Amino acid sequence: MKTKLPDVIENWACSLTKDDLLLISNALNEIINGSGAIEKWEFQTRTGVEFQDAEKLLKKTSMALNEFNKN
């Protein structure tokens, strides 16, 4: 019997490799800081998330990559 997930999941955990984190971090960096960065005023419309939330996730992925690189 399959377990149904709740309609709303606030926190979700998964395992990511270093390469997964690098891809996410690089993609976020490009849309936030790159030459083709999305303007803040249209960020949510184009991505579905608030600009500040994307910045927070970029910081988290960067910190995780730094931890990977220490080892």
pLDDT at 58: 97
What DSSP designation does 10 have? S
pLDDT at 11: 76
Tens-level pLDDT at each residue, the chain (71 residues): 566 666 666 777 889 999 999 999 999 999 999 999 999 999 999 999 999 999 999 999 999 999 988 87
pLDDT at 12: 76
Q: Which two tokens stand for residue 42?
A: 């249209």
Residues 67 and 17: their CA atoms lie apart, in Å, by: 12
Residues 24 and 57: their CA atoms lie apart, in Å, by: 9
pLDDT at 71: 73
Residues 58 and 38: their CA atoms lie apart, in Å, by: 15
